[in-house]
Amino acid sequence: MVISQLKINGFKNLNDISIEPHNRLNILYGDNAQGKTNLVEAIWLCTGVRSFRSTKDKDMIDINGETMSIELKFLDCSREQTVSYRMARPNIKDKSCALNGVKVKAPSKLFGGLSCVVFTPEDLELSKGSPEKRRQFADLSAAQIKNSYRSVSEKYEQVLEQRNMLLKNISLGRSQRDELDVWDIQLAQMGAYISMLRYSYTRKLGAYASRLYSEISGGRERLELCYSSTVFDKLEGRTDYRNDLAPEYLEAIKKGREEDIRFGYTGRGVHRDDLCAYIDGLPARDFASQGQHRSIALVLKLAQANILLEESGEAPVFLLDDVLSELDPSRQEFVISKIDNMQVFITCCDGSIPENKSGKLYRISGGRIVR
């Protein structure tokens, strides 16, 4: 997949941006706070996924302006497609987005068109940080290869919220215990499906990631990934989520009911699961060094891109925001060599195209591209 054209006006500090990126390497450079990450963020929004910087809607439009628009054209192996993303004050909630000229209901409906892998300094903490970040990573990556997964995991969150509210009302004596039944059945169905998909995604991811990790560590260390479920002891070989996994899931939720009512919170389920990395058998979260955490993050992102390519036949666009400068030269070289076959956008402070590579350089200053 290749972004062939990008136009941005009034998104944060970016204005008059109109570029035709190189189909491999694109380097965005310039001083701090000039708009490099904003540009990467604008591309990311066109994937239909919430900003990796969690920007609020009102902060997307230039504080000195009234409207913002992002227009992006990309090519996959079959055709050219266009994404447009617009907002205007004062109705900032009414985002106007379109895929190939057809208006979509919400930005999230752009998902499934442009596909990107983004890698930011925050991701370097992936194996060290909270399980929530790893679940988000697994969910997004799994959804990229199975579009229907996304709506299930969103629905799960909604049902979970309803159930938690009901739990509180039960403990306050405002609701009855048997009102939980309807929510529990839904949670079990969706939770079973999510467990199965996350498990099988983790297997795929683990296979790629351990190969890459072995390479990056010069064969000295072994990386393993495991899906850690709060519901199932064993997920291997289980594919019948309706008749096999869902009943067991339901059983587990029912067992936890009294405790859940006491805490006002659903204690078990895919919202508490984790994707754990082990190095030479030891849990990375507790034992890995900073360098090992970085290597794990790197190989996870590269594995995500590889799986996308394998499953969809289409390489994602790789967005590297400020990460290279955080890595030592050998890790830098490793990443660059592994994304050689994809279109890449790299932000950094000083711009130069490595010898033996071709690409385009863009200097960003004050939200504009200066030539």
Ligand X SMILES: Nc1ncnc2c1ncn2[C@@H]1O[C@H](COP(=O)(O)OP(=O)(O)O)[C@@H](O)[C@H]1O
The residue from 3, 6, 8, 12 that contacts ligand X (CB under 6 A) is: 12
Q: Is 82 in the site for ligand X (CB under 6 A)?
A: no
Tokens in use for 121?
A: 């300094």
Under DSSP, the state recorded for 11 is B
Q: For the CB of residue 102, give the shortest distance to ligand X in the complex, in Å.
A: 28
Give the torsion sign (CA, 46, 48, 51, 56). Answer: positive
Q: Is 34 in the site for Mg ion (CB under 5 A)?
A: no
Tokens in use for 228?
A: 């850690």
Q: For the CB of residue 13, give the shortest distance to ligand X in the complex, in Å.
A: 3
Q: Is 195 in the site for ligand X (CB under 6 A)?
A: no
Q: Is 37 in the site for Mg ion (CB under 5 A)?
A: yes
Q: Is 350 in the site for ligand X (CB under 6 A)?
A: no
How far from chain centre, in Å, is Cα 46?
Answer: 13
Quickly tell me which residue has 């699961």 as its tokens: 273
Closer to Mg ion at the Cβ: 40 or 302?
A: 40
Q: Is 189 in the site for ligand X (CB under 6 A)?
A: no
The residue from 4, 5, 9, 13 that contacts ligand X (CB under 6 A) is: 13
Strands (E) located in the chain: 2-9, 17-19, 25-29, 67-75, 80-88, 96-99, 102-104, 116-119, 223-228, 274-279, 282-283, 317-321, 344-348, 359-365, 368-370
How many residues contact ligand X, by CB under 6 A? Answer: 14
Q: For the CB of residue 288, give the shortest distance to ligand X in the complex, in Å.
A: 28
Q: Is 120 in the site for Mg ion (CB under 5 A)?
A: no
Can you tell me the distance from the alpha carbon of 231 to that of 267, in angstroms, rounded to the nearest whole number? Answer: 10
Closer to Mg ion at the Cβ: 117 or 275?
A: 117
Q: Is 207 in the site for ligand X (CB under 6 A)?
A: no
Residue 368 one-letter amino acid: R
In the complex, the residues that contact ligand X under the rule CB under 6 A are 12-13, 30, 32-38, 59, 61-63
In the complex, the residues that contact Mg ion under the rule CB under 5 A are 36-37
